[in-house]
Chain A
Amino acid sequence: MLQISGQRYAFPAVEVEEIIPLIPCRSLAGVPPYVSGLIDYRGNAVPVVDLGTMICGTPCARYYSTRILLTRIQGNLLGLIGEEVTISQRWNDEQWKPLGVAQRQTPFLGPVVNDDQGFIQRVEAALLLPEPVRAALFERAHS
């Protein structure tokens, strides 16, 4: 579970390789603003995306509870910054309902579940980065 601007989102735990604090990123030129930069993760340069900037245009706050989730997209490591990464929760597949609203700007935001505090939307890692950005980032990280 993570939050962006007070809204709750979920990221599948099986796709998370490790969760680390928001360590300083080395910034990159010529990338979309939601790309915070690169971190040195186990000796590899790994691009990091700020979900705050990506989803609502405001970077995530620099708190203890703001963390980097390390995931893999097509085999490439990618860091995702989210706020309030403090708990995990379990839902059945059938509890997720399609949103029913077209989200052309944010195709990576998937179905929703709701509980007594409102909606939680799922972040789909596979759809996270537009193809050109993905190609540029991972080529950069490998070189």
Chain B
Amino acid sequence: VSEDSKLSRLLRREPPAEYLEEYARVVAKPQVREEATYASLFVFDLGPERVALPVTSLQEVLQPPLRIHSLPNRRHPALLGLVNLHGKLEICVSLFALLRGVSRAPQEETRMLVWGSNTQRFVSPITGTHGVVRVKVQELQPFAAGPTSVVESTFVLAAQPVGVLSLPEVNEQLTRVLSR
């Protein structure tokens, strides 16, 4: 006996009147279309800071972290060096430095995030990941800590605030760091 015919036998029963009445009430209600728009964000930790980037900018999460080849003349805490990513040299930058001004978070960096666009990608050490969340755009609270803040908004995830990084601002700051 095929699964199909088992299923149709199971459904060849009269449903109780209450079920149909309940369904009739459901069907009579106007369909509410959800108007909210959502942002899909990848949430991760930079030491004590819990932050998020748009999931579209995320390319890969590497575990364990790659070895960083430091640059002898590096002059900025955000510029960590170069990493060998699948045989290509990529720039390794510290997102933590953009937030706190020092290169490394106190916690152990367990993974590396590959992020950016098709034209420019970066590799950044992170200390933990919390997956992708969908947040209603209306629930993102604008965050204005100053004109150079890389955090553009915040939201609360599991009772903990998460700072959403502004990609344009992060890119601009990194461009400045790299052109020094």
Q: Is the CB of B19 within 8 A of A42?
A: no
Do most interface residues of chain B lie in helix, strand or loop, or is the interface mixed?
A: helix
A21 to B28 CA separation, bound complex (whole angstroms): 13
Q: Is the CB of A20 within 8 A of B27?
A: yes
Q: Is the CB of B24 within 8 A of A62?
A: no
Say whether B20 faces chain A, with CB atoms less than 8 Å apart.
Answer: yes
Q: Is the CB of B27 within 8 A of A63?
A: no
Decide: A65 near B8, CB < 8 A? Known: A21-B15, A24-B21, A40-B24. Answer: yes
Contact with B along A73-93 (1 / 0, CB 8 A): 000000000001011000000
A23 to B27 CA separation, bound complex (whole angstroms): 9
A65 to B14 CA separation, bound complex (whole angstroms): 9
Say whether A35 faces chain B, with CB atoms less than 8 Å apart.
Answer: no
Decide: A65 near B4, CB < 8 A? Known: A39-B24, A41-B28. Answer: no
Spell out B's residues near A (CB within 8 Å).
4, 7-8, 10-15, 19-21, 23-24, 27-31
4 further A-B contacts with Cβ under 8 Å, apart from A20-B27, A21-B15, A23-B21, are A23-B20, A41-B27, A42-B27, A63-B12
Spell out A's residues near B (CB within 8 Å).
20-24, 39-43, 61-65, 84, 86-87
